[in-house]
Structure 1
Amino acid sequence: MKQVISTEKHPIKLWVDQIEDSAINQAKNLANLPFVYKHVALMPDAHTGYGMPIGGVLATKGVIIPNAVGVDIGCGMCAIKTNIEDMDTTELKQLMSHIRKTIPLGKNSHKEKQDESLMPQRGDVSNVMEQLYSKALCQLGTLGGGNHFIEIQRGSDGYIWVMIHSGSRNIGKQIADFYNKKARQLNERWYTQVPINADLAFLPIETEEAHAYMNDMQYCIDFAFANRKQMMEKVKAGLLEINQGNVVFDDIINIAHNYAAWENHYNENVLVHRKGATRAYKGEIGIIPGSQGTKSYIVEGLGNPESFMSCSHGAGRVMGRKQAQRELDLETEISRLNEKGIIHAIRNTKDLDEAAGAYKDIDVVMANQKDLVKIKVELKPLAVVKG
């Protein structure tokens, strides 16, 4: 831990040493909520979000806050280890071509509905989710945009790995926006002490609205995992084709980093909100990606109670998307990747929003959370497809 801010109603514990004032102000808003449990935790990749900092962890008693989960509900990582020991440039380019042909990127979706048996069971979801279901059938197995990626990596264990970062596509945003609007309306009706301009509207857990949100949130989490699994199957098929079927794959590692869940901390059951943060229970295997062109990590949680057993979800931004496009030098960012021999996705100025220069130094981020996780495998990028 780097520091503790003790000026608010509840402490703010920080594992980050490079963070904007606006993110600190958001954390102070959290720390003064009447239903906060113990303290607020900011991970080493924390930066300004909407309502709550991305890289924040918040435990509450009796309420759930849609904006403390975020708009891409269930967004997360999956990774898989192969028995392949090396891939040359030709093979990597073949695989990148296969990925682009079989996995829609950015805002694109499949033209036809996918196999419904691959979708999570809907169970007790709301009418809002039912209305989104048909569209979700065309989004299953698609990457999305922003910072989502598919990366081929060489592990410090001597083997090739595949890593995917993606979320619940548009259904997560629709659900988040719907319930945040509902929470704002109810909070105004109740004359709550939580200021509306803090963007932290809440739902008391015993309300029908909270129950509906929890069910819909869980469906988004399940859909995001199903989405990543289908993309991973496409990548595996490409690897099998290139290697004439001679590939063995380990079990998939999957983690979400935008969700809320009931957990027991300090001997009490509370709702832990992780917005851009990864669970890191003692012995739990997790994934921490770097920025484009930098190392990523398979880690093991240390179960630190002060972070509510959490760690970072990545490197964390130091520049907004438009700022990066304005201020970063295109040739410098391309050269940085070319010098490492990485097959990358930076072609023009608009791609600079996902350049390494827009993110924190992953080495610093990992050093700042040595009390949260230990590194199991270090992964160096070989080729990346961006959303």
Structure 2
Amino acid sequence: MEVKMINNCPVKIWTDYVEKSAMRQIENLTTLPFLFHHLAIMPDVHTGMGMPIGGVLACKDAVIPNAVGVDIGCGMCAVKTNWKVADIPTDVLRKQIMRGIRKRIPLGMDHHKEAQDEKYLPTGHDIDKMEIVKRRQEYITKEVGTLGGGNHFIELQKDETGTLWIMIHSGSRNLGKLVGDYYNEKAKKLNERWYSVVSPDIRLSFLPLRTDEFNAYWQEMKYCVDFALCNRKLMMKRIEEVIKDAIPEIGFEPMINIAHNYAAWERHYGQDVIVHRKGATLAREGVIGIIPGSQGTASYIVEGLGNPESFCSCSHGAGRTLSRTAAIRDLNLKEEVERLDALGIIHAIRNQNDMQEASGAYKDIETVIANEADLVKVKTRLLPVAVIKG
């Protein structure tokens, strides 16, 4: 970890390289008048909207929608089985399990044709007080249990003993984007009205504590976090059903879940503050987390060490090293496919456009894990067996 002083603010960085555009965003964050104590930048850092992905920001008395992001509640879940991958015939894996998953779970922009049972949606929320969530209730009954696009994935994996694992990366679908965009626009207009010292050019408009707008965003954000978890739970349920149909004797352990786009009240350095994690996960002491690699590389089940210098956080993945446009332009399709085929991975790469999610577009996950050895300890290393991309 390296400490830089920027605008009299300590910035603690767990990597030796930060791209220029992400560093500019870090510099912008240090100008916020309500920033608390220091900034923490994870080893998977790369440019985001307003705040870099892989950033952890603690604030006094304010929440920043763009420091949470638009895929609110996006995160990972994983389940360990009691079955060895070597005991699954290839035709069963390809024809029954992989095809079955694709039939049960809509991918990309697709959603269910029929509304899913409302028991799969979040409970304990006053929806009538939520402008966006209330408006979207009819739609999200068809979106729950769907993967989404971009870097979201379903992956079958094996651990060091050859045991099968299931891993999912997904979020709050269109709901989170609508909530994030709506309250960011509201924050921009309010900041202009108040003649805020926070420049609109840095895209970090905020909502102050104890305002109606803060309370409204906070409630809808929490709903999105819960919806994203419900979404992952339903997908995992359906995947387990597909695998159980193919292997009746298989058993499943309880699901591990960790979110990486949200804000939460936490106590740090003796004060209650609002911690924004954008592409970063909670790594409080003893908390079990998930740090995925890229398509074709290892993923990790980790345990938090509770390092206060990172606000008890760690990376959420490998982190991009190429933009989507640059990856499509520069990466070699033949080379990426040959590498995955040589590893025997059932993968999702079919054309040049798929290069945006090829491993060559991402940082080396082994380096990322090594850089945060003071934040987490590795419990299990997982290698990919079969990948479904959104």
Q: What range describes the TM-score normalised by the shorter chain of this pair?
A: over 0.9
Q: What letter is aligned with 2:92?
A: E
* Distance in 2, Cα, partners of 1:345 & 1:157: 25
Q: Residue 175 in 1 paired to residue 183 in 2?
A: no
- Determine the structure 2 residue equivalent to 1:215: 219
Distance in 2 separating the partners of 1:61 and 1:308? 14
| Secondary structure at 2:136 match in 1 | helix
Work out the CA distance in 2 between the residues paired with 1:38 and 1:53: 18
Contact 2:44 2:54 in 1 (8 A): yes
Residue 193 of structure 1 corresponds to 197
- 1:33 corresponds to which residue? 32
Q: Which residue type is aligned with residue 167 of structure 2?
A: M
Deviates more, 1:9-18 or 1:231-240: 9-18
Identity %: 57
Q: Any gaps of 5 or more consecutive residues in structure 1? A: none
Q: How many equivalent residue pairs?
A: 385
In structure 2, relative to structure 1, the CA distance for the partners of 1:284 and 1:161 (3 Å cut) is: same
Which of 126, 139, 147 lines up with 1:124 in the alignment?
126
2:43 maps to which residue?
44
Distance in 1 between the 2:383 and 2:135 partners? 41
State the alpha-carbon separation in 1 of the partners of residues 101 and 228 from structure 2.
Answer: 18
- Pairing partner for 2:323 from 310, 320, 324: 320
TM-fit CA distance, 1:157:
4.2
1:272-287 aligned at under 5 Å gives the runs 272-287=275-290
| Mapped contact 1:296–1:380 kept (Cα < 8 A) | yes
**Residue from 346, 358, 361 that aligns with 1:358:** 361
Post-superposition Cα deviations, 1:68-92, rounded to whole Å, max 9, x if no partner, equal: 0000000000000000012342222
Given the alignment of the two structures, is residue 345 of structure 1 paired with residue 345 of structure 2, yes or no? Answer: no
Q: Aligned to 2:83, what secondary structure does the other structure show?
A: coil
The alpha carbon displacement at 1:16 in A equals 1.7
How well do the aligned residues superpose, as a CA RMSD in angstroms?
0.9
Q: TM-score, normalised by structure 1?
A: 0.98
Deviation at 1:117, TM superposition (A): 1.3
Say which of 247, 256, 267 aligns to 1:264.
Answer: 267
Q: Which residue of 2 aligns with 1:11?
A: 10
Within-5 A mapping of 1:295-310: 295-310=298-313
Tell me by how many angstroms 1:122 deviates: 5.8
Indicate yes or no: 2:142 matched with 1:138.
yes
| 1:230 aligns to 2:231 (yes or no) | no
Contact 2:6–2:30 (Cα < 8 Å) also in 1: no
Which one-letter code corresponds to 1:123 in the other structure? H
Matched residue, 1:77: 76
Q: Residue 122 of structure 1 contacts residue 219 of structure 1 at CA under 8 Å; is this kept in 2?
A: no
Show CA shifts across 1:250-278 (max 9, x none): 10000100000000111111000000001
Instruction: Tell me how far 1:156 sits from its aligned partner.
Output: 1.7
Partner-residue secondary structure (3-state), 1:239: helix
Classify the secondary structure of the residue corresponding to 2:6: coil
TM-score by length of 2: 0.97
Aligned position for 2:370: 367
